[in-house]
């Protein structure tokens, strides 16, 4: 079933303009998002062809089956609550039965987790993005050798530098392939380092290849004397590998147009995403302050200012943290129920279905 089938078969129950146009945040470049609710023909609902959601290819237009819609309302899903509370001038069609579903029957303290909880996850994402923009990682991947150091007196020097400058008189220094390591008891990451200039003793080298995730240990003759002691910072190497994977995965998947906009305003955060994060927190604050969900914003210019990157990363983060604290305070004194009345709202759903399938 496709969207046009819903209209041809007169299965639509609700349709409204949503997103930035509903919030009052649309600009000349804004898309028009459509959200709605439908019901399935009786034979599909009672049979094996239940379809909970139908969207177009770009997800700009999405409709939810009435059962799925009520289920998500009972979970206080922010996007679904915003559809139900759509401003009157955004509603394009509304079946009289939809009047039975009232926003106030679903609002509960659960909104703190769904609205503010999601916003907090986006703030963490913004902080990660800020870190990625400010701390780019070279494409050439470091090896574990870059996290190895030679103890020298009261200091340490990087292994690669030490190998090159070793006072052997050999041009080009020592080769890591001719080195052998053994563990030092009761220490973590410490090794005694030996060198086989002839390459005949079977030492395995410090690493066997550039992709190695740990150093090698070798069998060393008992009468051999170490020429140095090596420390391998495996913890730092693990952190680097994680950061490297995340950074280049982000580079591969990022929206280049949005990234370039963020680079242009130079604030080191995804300004559009943070605008919606602040809006979501403000909606949550209003829920606990007034026991209602307000869709159209009162501070359009302030939010568009954030979207345009006119506010610093620190300023936006401080604003978000202030809203989170306000939500916590209001939550503690709120008279909203802990959860939506599932029994009551399910009965409403049943009543809607019974009427539709009479």
**In this model, does residue 171 exceed pLDDT 80?**
no
**In this model, does residue 168 exceed pLDDT 70?**
no
What was the pLDDT predicted at 134?
63
Kindly state the average pLDDT of the residues 242-264.
70
Q: Which residues contact 126 (CB under 8 A, 6 or more apart)?
A: 269, 270, 273, 274, 277, 313, 317
**In this model, does residue 48 exceed pLDDT 80?**
yes
Per-residue pLDDT tens over the stretch 293-327: 999 999 999 999 998 888 888 898 899 999 999 99
Kindly state the average pLDDT of the residues 178-191.
94
Q: Please compute Rg for the chain using Cα positions.
A: 30
Q: How far apart are CA 145 and CA 205, in angstroms?
A: 11
Name the residue among 336, 277, 340 with its Cα closest to residue 75.
340
**In this model, does residue 357 exceed pLDDT 90?**
yes
What was the pLDDT predicted at 350?
97
Among 10-14, 74-78, 180-184, 270-274, the range scoring the smallest mean pLDDT is 270-274
**Does the model's pTM come out above 0.75?**
no
Q: How far apart are CA 27 and CA 18, in angstroms?
A: 14
Among positive and negative, which fits the CA dihedral 65, 71, 73, 78? negative
Decide if domain 1-106+340-358 falls under CATH 3.30.460.
yes
256 confidence band (pLDDT: 50, 70, 90): low
Q: How far apart are CA 123 and CA 273, in angstroms?
A: 9
Domain ranges of the chain: 1-106+340-358, 107-136+255-337, 144-239
Q: pLDDT higher for 45 or 121? A: 45
211 confidence band (pLDDT: 50, 70, 90): confident
């Amino acid at each position: 079933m496709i969207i046009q089938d819903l209209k041809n078969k007169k299965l639509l129950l609700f349709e409204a303009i949503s997103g930035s146009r509903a919030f009052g945040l649309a600009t000349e470049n804004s898309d028009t998002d459509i959200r709605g609710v439908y019901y399935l023909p009786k034979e599909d609902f009672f049979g094996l062809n239940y379809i909970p959601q139908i969207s177009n290819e770009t997800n700009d237009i999405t409709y939810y089956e009435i059962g799925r819609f009520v289920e998500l309302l009972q979970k206080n899903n922010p996007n679904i609550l915003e559809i139900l509370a759509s401003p009157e001038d955004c509603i394009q069609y509304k079946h009289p039965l939809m009047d039975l579903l009232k926003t106030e029957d679903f609002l509960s303290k659960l909104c703190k987790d769904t609205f503010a909880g999601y916003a907090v996850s986006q703030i963490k994402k913004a902080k990660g993005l800020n870190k990625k923009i400010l701390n780019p990682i070279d494409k050439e991947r470091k090896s574990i050798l870059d996290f190895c150091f030679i103890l020298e007196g009261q200091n340490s020097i990087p292994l690669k530098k030490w190998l090159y400058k070793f006072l052997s008189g050999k041009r080009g220094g020592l080769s890591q392939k001719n080195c052998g390591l053994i563990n030092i008891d009761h220490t973590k990451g410490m090794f005694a380092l030996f060198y086989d200039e002839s390459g005949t003793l079977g030492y395995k080298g410090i690493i066997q290849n550039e992709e190695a995730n740990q150093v090698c240990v070798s069998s060393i003759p008992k009468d051999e004397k170490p020429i140095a002691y090596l420390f391998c910072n495996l913890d730092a190497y693990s952190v680097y590998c994680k950061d490297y994977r995340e950074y280049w995965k982000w580079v591969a998947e990022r929206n280049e147009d949005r990234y370039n906009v963020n680079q242009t305003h130079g604030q080191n955060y995804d300004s559009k995403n943070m605008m919606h994060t602040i809006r979501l927190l403000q909606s949550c604050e209003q829920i606990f302050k007034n026991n209602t969900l307000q869709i159209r914003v009162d501070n359009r210019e302030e939010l568009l200012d954030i979207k345009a990157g006119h506010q610093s990363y620190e300023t936006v983060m401080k604003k978000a943290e202030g809203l989170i604290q306000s939500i916590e305070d209001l939550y503690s004194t709120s008279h909203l129920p802990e959860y939506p009345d599932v029994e009551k709202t399910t009965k409403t759903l049943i009543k809607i279905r019974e009427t539709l399938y009479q």
